[in-house]
């Protein structure tokens, strides 16, 4: 039983640590700070979950999210398990509010449970998931969940506009809840010389870093394409990517074809402890993302990690990066399809250390003013205490 005065919460999300990715990290940060064992997380059973859950402050309930190909639709089993588990927990634990990690499947399940039990429903919106369903039944189901939830937690102004213009969500139901970053973990001044030397960099080398899933919309391939021009301009540029994904072979092949294999370092996963040091090791962080068939970057948590580390960034203009990067002050936003723009921005930051340092300092200050956990969790607590909109 919960102690008197505690608020019991339920979060339904397929994405949660130890699953890799900024969204999983963000959810973990939110709910650790929102409460202890009275906060219940329903999420996917993934490798390493048992060890991760053992010391977690929240109550975590793991389900198999495996689809059943003999069912129509294949996801029916997932929806059924989520619905039954969520309904039971809501009633048994006297949950006050139900969060959903995204509209489908979590948001639709949260909405059904919320309406059956009279609980407030809050659904996270990240941006990229809103434009990838076409206009069929899944899109209609997503619109229904978003339009009827009590609160939509939008990660950027761009995502808010998409919710209103594309999905028809009422603006008064949308709250801008910017992602956050651990400003104590990601900070300037961490020792990183060993990391630079480990990939063969000298004191004169310039180091570009990217972090994220290796997929085409991130624009990592166009950073690779920029390297020959940077080298031709006399910049001893090296490029490292942290992350895994389908584009690994593609990026290696591209680097080889362009003659820059010795300058491109695909690092895969790095340790939790080393990730902040890699940000410190670089001169510039780059992710010149672009829109591919409606798939774009909703915000870009990695831009905040770089900013908190005191590094300037080169971002794409597509999606919601304007909320993460202030043009000309914390970095540059470029056309992710335009190699010349990418080269120009990278070269300017790599060859002008004073300007790069100034942008990095401004980026760090902006994180401290706008993107801390305390500010976001305070915002969520205020929403929980409100009753939401009655249907």
Q: Quick check: 208 and 286 in contact, CB under 8 A?
A: yes
CA-based radius of gyration for the chain: 22
Position 188 in a domain: no
- What are the start-end ranges of the H helices in 233-274? 248-257
Which H or E element spans position 264? strand 264-268
Per-residue pLDDT of the chain (391 residues; tens, 9 = 90+): 344 447 999 999 999 999 988 889 889 999 999 999 999 999 999 999 999 999 999 999 999 887 666 555 557 778 899 999 999 999 999 999 999 999 999 999 999 999 999 999 999 999 888 887 778 888 999 999 999 999 999 999 999 999 999 999 999 999 999 989 999 999 999 999 999 999 999 999 999 999 999 999 999 999 999 999 999 999 999 999 999 999 999 999 999 999 999 999 999 999 989 999 999 999 999 999 999 887 788 888 999 999 999 999 999 999 889 999 999 999 999 999 999 999 999 999 999 999 999 999 999 999 999 999 899 999 999 999 885 443 4
Q: Are 15 and 160 in the same domain?
A: yes
- 150 neighbors 121 (Cβ within 8 angstroms): yes
Give yes or no: residues 174 and 76 share one domain.
yes
C-alpha–C-alpha distance, residues 16 and 2, integer Å: 24
Tokens of 29: 């940060």
This prediction has a pTM of 0.81
Q: What is the 3-state secondary structure (H, E, C) of 172-194?
A: HHEEECCCCCCCCCCCCCCCCHH
- CB 352, CB 358: distance < 8 Å: no
The pLDDT of residue 68 is: 64
Q: Which letter does DSSP use for residue 140 in this model?
A: H
Distances 10 to 13, 88, 196, 275 between C-alpha atoms, Å: 10, 11, 43, 30
Nearest CA-CA partner of 103 in 79, 85, 74, 68: 79
Please check whether residues 228 and 167 belong to one and the same domain.
no
Are 327 and 227 in the same domain? yes
Name which of 149, 145, 348, 316 is nearest 217 in CA terms. Answer: 316
Strand order in the sheet with 237-242: 264-268, 237-242, 206-211, 284-287, 313-316, 331-334
Name the domain count of the chain.
2
92/80 same-domain check = yes
Give the CATH number, domain containing residue 151. 3.40.50.2000
268 close to 203: Cβ distance less than 8 angstroms: no
Same domain, residue pair 201 and 109: no
**pLDDT reported for residue 366:** 97
Give the range of the structural domain holding residue 106, as residue numbers without chain letter. Answer: 9-180+372-385
């Amino acid at each position: 039983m919960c102690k008197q005065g505690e608020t019991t919460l339920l979060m339904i999300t397929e994405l949660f640590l130890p699953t890799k990715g900024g969204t999983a990290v963000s959810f973990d940060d939110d709910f650790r700070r929102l409460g202890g064992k009275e906060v219940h997380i329903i999420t996917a059973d993934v490798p390493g979950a048992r060890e991760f859950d053992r010391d977690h402050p929240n109550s975590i309930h793991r389900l198999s999210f495996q689809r059943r190909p003999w069912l129509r639709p294949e996801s029916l089993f997932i929806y059924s398990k989520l619905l039954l588990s969520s309904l039971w927990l809501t009633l048994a634990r006297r949950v006050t509010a139900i969060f959903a990690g995204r509209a489908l499947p979590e948001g639709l399940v949260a909405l059904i449970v919320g309406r059956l039990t009279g609980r407030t429903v809050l659904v996270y919106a990240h941006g990229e998931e809103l434009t990838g369903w076409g206009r069929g039944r899944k899109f209609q189901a997503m619109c229904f969940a978003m339009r009827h939830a009590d609160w939509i937690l939008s990660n950027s102004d761009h995502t808010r506009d998409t919710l209103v213009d594309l999905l028809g969500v009422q603006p008064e139901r949308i709250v801008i809840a910017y992602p956050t970053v651990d400003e104590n973990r990601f900070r300037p001044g961490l020792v990183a010389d060993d990391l630079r030397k480990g990939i063969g960099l000298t004191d004169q080398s310039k180091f570009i870093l990217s972090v994220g899933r290796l997929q085409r919309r991130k624009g990592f391939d166009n950073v690779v394409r920029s390297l020959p021009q940077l080298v031709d301009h006399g910049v001893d540029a090296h490029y490292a990517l942290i992350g895994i994904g389908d584009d690994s072979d593609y990026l290696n092949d591209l680097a080889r074809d362009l003659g820059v294999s010795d300058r491109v370092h695909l690092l895969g996963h790095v340790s939790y402890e080393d990730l902040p040091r890699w940000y410190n090791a670089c001169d510039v962080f780059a992710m010149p993302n672009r829109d591919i068939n409606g798939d774009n970057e909703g915000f870009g948590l990695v831009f905040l990690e770089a900013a908190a580390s005191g590094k300037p960034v080169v971002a794409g203009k597509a999606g919601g990066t304007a909320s993460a990067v202030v043009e000309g002050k914390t970095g540059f936003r470029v056309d992710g399809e335009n190699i010349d723009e990418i080269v120009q921005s990278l070269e300017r930051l790599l060859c002008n250390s004073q300007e790069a340092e100034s942008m990095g300092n401004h980026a760090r200050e902006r994180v401290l003013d706008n993107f801390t956990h305390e500010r976001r969790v305070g915002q969520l607590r205020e929403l929980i205490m409100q009753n939401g909109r009655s249907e």
